[in-house]
Amino acid sequence: MNSVVCISHVPDTESRIKIAAGGQKIDETGLKFIVSPYDEYALEAAVRLKEAKDGDVTVLTFGPDRAQQALRESLSRGATKAMHVKGESGDADSLGIAKVLAAAIRSVPHDLVFFGKQGVGTDNALVGPMVAELLGYPQVNVVTHLEVGDGRLTAHREIESAEEVIETTLPAVITAQKGLNEPRYAKLQGIVAAKKIPIDTKSVADLGLDESDIYKQRVTIVSIDLPAEKTGGRKIDGADANAAAQEIVRYIRDEAKAL
Amino acid sequence: MANVLVFTESTNGKLKKPSREALTIARKLGAGDVVAVASDAAAAEEAGKYGAKKLYVANMGDYLTEPYTAGLAQIAKEVQPAVILFAGTSNGRDLAPRLAARLNAGVASDVDRLEWVDGKLRARRPVYSGKAFATVEVTSTPAIATTRPNAFPAEEAGGGAAEVVNVSVDAGEGKSKLVETKVPEAGELSIAEADIIVSGGRGLKEAANFSYIRDLAHAIGGAVGASRATVDAGWIDHQHQVGQTGRVVSPNVYIAAGVSGAIQHLAGMSSSKHIIAINKDSEAPIFRVADLGVVGDLFQILPALTEEVKKAKAH
């Protein structure tokens, strides 16, 4: 059972975001980058499949040089191979990114393709289903439970206040939701072993793609702005619980018009 | 005249609220006539009421990605829309990117503002969970967007039923099948679409005390939210988590009790319209985004509030 796990390298969720000069990108200076949190569930699912059924787990990313860190970290958590497509993924729209990843995935043997349900930060939640379409595979999105059998899988897909149980065929694309599993931490042994695994590095052109179809296409960023700083509203003393409750109800009824 | 195609979801002829919101903004865009898609002709009355001139009804059955992609692609070919909108529901978010890849189109996802400017779709979308906003232009034809639930009003247009156009979709042989739908707790509202959310944080001290949150949510008709700390501690299911690794929500009323307001949590809820915070620590960061802050003991205030809400509802 071979899997490809697509990883995105994103600013730590603790980060304060600053806007770069020009107003169209965030300022990466001093930002700590991490493996996008949902990708950790995707990786763990693939590594568990490998442990149960052998095969390889290839981690794949499209991004600038710094994105190699995300691959190294994923190797230390059980991935067996890594591919880095170098490029300014921040200048590509989601479909551009999907085209790059789909081309890279085609070059690697696989039964399953995993993503996190969204890249934390840009929060588009588009690339996984786009790759599924480009490869002609079925997809199950926002998966909280997964069982893989012979040529088939059963996955639980989170929807509004419920879960759908979907059965489909391999190869397939799965996007992972928190709760799918409990990701492991890297062990020292894994970190040392990971350093010896070479990262297969390619360019967009190496994949036979036309860069002009990848960058600055279909969706362009006009500006990125910070929200107006909220200063906080009224603060009241809640020592008298009944009085506080009455004031809250008045506020909800009169100002929010919700009662 | 160009068309704006809107994918709608309905139950027994009643459109889901996010679909009504998407139809409303589709009409206000002024990019062309609104044409809706549904899997059931019973939606024609409501679709018309919210501004759709036509309703394409395709025999797509229960939602599954592949037949719906085939259906939408076929209808898009016939309608030649300038814009395709999806409400950002689970199904909308599943389908929009798949269709976009088939049509080689760009998508602005989870948008909270939408305009038609000089023949282009301009959208604002929260990024970094609301720590920043990106304004993007979708330059492809069609231009696709998914609308964030609760970010746009749902307003009737005063029209009659939409004209029904039946479409027979040839989806081919499906690889996927829906085995069953599991509804865990009967009648529990999803935080994704709720107008009112009552959230609990570590200040609840233990899992059992989520009953304080549930009682108030039940009385007020809201959904139960939770901070990441309580989800990570196993006090409540992840479906309830608000914040950067949970759901980003923008209800009309957000009540946070015992939530200190970590940056990830604030990012996930600070676009709510009316925020009420209850916390015993007067310096808690949650008070910076609260419109009404109450410094006090949630174990005293929540039961009193639940009673007051019941009284107010009884009137």
Domains and CATH numbers, chain B: 3-167 (3.40.50.620), 196-314 (3.40.50.1220)
Kindly provide the ipTM of the predicted complex, given to two decimals: 0.93
Is residue B123 within 8 Å of B138, Cβ to Cβ? yes
**A6 close to A114: Cβ distance less than 8 angstroms:** yes
Q: How far is CA A144 from CA A35, A78, A128, B96, in A?
A: 19, 21, 16, 21
Closest CA to A205 of A85, A98, A91: A85
Q: Please list the residues that pair with A164 across neighbouring strands.
A: A157, B181
Is there a contact between B24 and B8 (Cβ–Cβ < 8 Å)? no
Residue in B21, B63, B17 with CA at minimum distance from that of residue B38:
B63
Token output for B48: 């018309």
Non-local CB neighbours of B168 within 8 Å, separated by 6+ positions: B58, B59
pLDDT at A35: 97
Give the Cα separation of A97 and A130 in Å (integer): 9
Predicted pLDDT of residue A15:
86
Q: Pinpoint the alpha helices (H) of chain B.
A: 17-29, 44-49, 65-79, 90-103, 210-220, 228-232, 263-269, 286-289, 298-314
Contact yes or no for A138 and B241 at CB 8 A: no
Global confidence as pTM: 0.90
SS3 B139: coil
Hey, what domains does chain A have and what are their CATH numbers? 3-213 (3.40.50.620)
Give the closest of B192, B195, B238 to A179, CB-based.
B238
pLDDT in tens, chain A (259 residues): 999 999 999 999 888 899 999 999 999 999 999 999 999 999 999 999 999 999 999 999 999 999 999 999 999 999 999 999 999 999 999 999 999 999 999 999 999 999 999 999 899 999 999 999 999 999 999 999 999 999 999 999 999 878 999 999 999 999 999 889 999 988 888 889 899 999 999 999 999 999 999 997 899 999 999 987 777 789 999 999 999 999 999 999 999 988 8
Q: Which of B89, B292, B298, B315 is best to mutate for the A interface (most A CBs within 10 A)?
A: B292
Which of B182, B273, B313 is closest, CB to CB, to A259? Answer: B313
Q: Return the amino acid letter for B16.
A: K
Contact A157 B90 (CB under 8 A): yes
Q: How far apart are the first and last CA of chain A?
A: 55
Residues B170, B167: Cα–Cα separation, whole Å: 10
Q: How many CB pairs under 8 A join A and B?
A: 290
Stretches where chain B sits below pLDDT 70 are 1, 184-187
Q: Is B84 exposed, middle or buried (0-12, 13-18, 19+ CB in 10 A)?
A: buried
H helix or E strand, kind and range, residue A129? helix A127-135
